[in-house]
Amino acid sequence: MDLTNKRIVVTGGAGFLGKRVVQKLKEKGVTDIFVPRSREFDLRNIEACTKVVNGADIIIHLAAKVGGIGLNRKKPGELFYDNLIMGIQLMEQARLAGVQKFVAIGTICAYPKFTPVPFKEENLWQGYPEETNAPYGLSKKMLLVQSKAYRKQYGFNSIFLLPVNLYGPGDNFDPESSHVIPALIKKCVDAIENDEDCITVWGDGSASREFLYVEDAAEAIVLATEKYNKSEPVNLGSGFEITIKNLVKLIAELTGFNGQIKWDTTKPNGQPRRLLDVSKAKEEFGFKARVDFKEGLKRTIEWYRQHGRK
């Protein structure tokens, strides 16, 4: 699909990932991009969805309410309802408006708690997600059900992408809602600044995670928008796994934090392991992550030191 002559709506286009997607689209020569802002277009309201899709050729739906384990434990109902209602209504209004393509962004939280590693797309329905983020994961997973049903009944062209946890400059460093990498960077950098010799980390460090640099994720989404036209889900990841214990050591080393690390084992680990099989994205639309993990962390730490504490 040639994107240059399309009107593309990017929900969440002013956010951490969305800004990068908009920039990648501009680099492709797209000039007609609309980024609806939540203060004007609350996508939980169907009237707002109707206005947003009007005249659009392509919808890239990135808008979501997200957070780490803490937020998922605190507001599971809100995360379930807000994400589900936004996605369902937006896709339905897009169908009714004759939108040519709908790009839905899912989450690795949709996978079962105990999924064979590496996670393959066909494993998605082989169990219930990890309990702490199941409401969020299932709310996004319903977009896959909708996507497949709409293609079957209406011939509606929608695709469903499953990114792992993202990180990079401009991430969310709010301790109430941040994911693990920005949370750890903040803990280490702030401890150094405040002359503290100890940080506390949730869990026991045994869980593993995979991370994708935000620029790579944006590249993958734009490639899929151009080249992928099936409702079967596609993983977006780096194919690299690291335990939380080793992640903490690496971030401490890169930030220069030499103090003690205390593990709060009264707090949950989350899903035991996360590592995606990323072969399908390469086969279907030629995506492969490019940014080295250590380099990506250095850029993120530098950004936080420059901008994140203001």
Quick: pLDDT tens for 225-264. Answer: 999 999 999 999 999 999 999 999 999 999 999 999 999 9
Taking 70 as the threshold, does the pLDDT of residue 310 lie above it? no
Round to whole Å and give the CA distance between 82 and 77. Answer: 8
Q: What is the mean pLDDT of the chain?
A: 95
Is residue 139 classed exposed, middle or buried when 0-12, 13-18 and 19+ CB atoms within 10 A define those classes?
A: buried
Quick: pLDDT tens for 252-262. Answer: 999 999 999 99
Pick 206 or 67 by higher pLDDT. 206
Report domain extents, the chain.
Answer: 7-167+211-237+274-290
- Of the chain, the percentage scoring pLDDT greater than 70 comes to 99
Round to whole Å and give the CA distance between 47 and 180. Answer: 36
Asked if residues 58 and 30 have their Cβ atoms less than 8 Å apart, the reply is no
Taking 80 as the threshold, does the pLDDT of residue 221 lie above it? yes
What pLDDT score does 74 carry? Answer: 92
298 band by pLDDT with thresholds 50, 70 and 90 = very high
Residue positions annotated with a catalytic role: 136
DSSP-derived secondary structure letter, 110 = G
Q: DSSP E strands: which ranges in 165-258?
A: 165-167, 198-202, 208-209, 211-213, 234-236, 242-243
97 band by pLDDT with thresholds 50, 70 and 90 = very high
DSSP-derived secondary structure letter, 276 = B
Asked if residues 236 and 169 have their Cβ atoms less than 8 Å apart, the reply is no
What CATH topology corresponds to 7-167+211-237+274-290? Rossmann fold (3.40.50)
Beta-carbon contacts of 303 under 8 Å, excluding residues fewer than 6 positions away, are 168, 169, 170, 171
What pLDDT score does 56 carry? Answer: 98
